[in-house]
Chains A and B, each alone.
Chain A
């Protein structure tokens, strides 16, 4: 089975802290994505990557950065967390050989 694993399910961070959200996939997928999901707003794309060391901005990249040093790992970084970044963050991956996008279970981040 394809597995997309997000390292932290629940985090509580203070305003101004640097936050790392890690995502690992085991299917050798080229494409990886970070979304955030908020009530009434649905899923919104933050960043995506179609190859190692490559990254592209999504619809809401402000306040975030990403890192893709290895094919299987895509990290989302909040340089200085703010309360409006409290949300559920979803990582996803997709391989060019198929048309199925697989999601991780999500990381609930609360910034206080």
Chain B
């Protein structure tokens, strides 16, 4: 079983602060996805990164895929209370979309 280490597990910040969440593995991903999950709901896809070194932006969210395709980061600029949720990274090691998930980062943004 491939392992994905996600850090930090919990993050409590004030509105307007910046933050970064990390996702690391000892194995190479064929692709990596970031999800956001709200309480009582299923995860919703934010982005998929495929190419080493790739950077994708989604409004205030910046996603980066490491050059070696073994790690990724999610950076949120000027966090808002609406960003509160569980952020999950998921790696596809096999190329067949059987995703391996990190344990998630629970983000709480206070007004």
Contact = CB atoms under 8 A, between A and B. Distances in A.
Interface of A: 4, 31, 33, 35, 40-45, 48, 50, 56, 58-59, 90, 92, 94, 99-106
A101 B104 contact: no
Main secondary structure of the interface of B (DSSP, over half): loop
Given A40-B103, A41-B103, A99-B48, A58 B42 contact: no
Contact of A94 (B35, B50, B97): B97
Contacts, number: 53
Contacts of A59: 1
B104 A106 contact: no
Contacts of B35: 103
Main secondary structure of the interface of A (DSSP, over half): strand
A104 B42 contact: yes
Interface of B: 1, 31, 33, 35, 40-45, 48, 50, 88, 90, 96-104
Nearest to A60: B1
Contact of B101 (A43, A56, A94): A43
A99 B30 CA distance: 12
Contact of A101 (B99, B100, B102): B99
Given A58-B98, A101-B99, A43 B40 contact: no
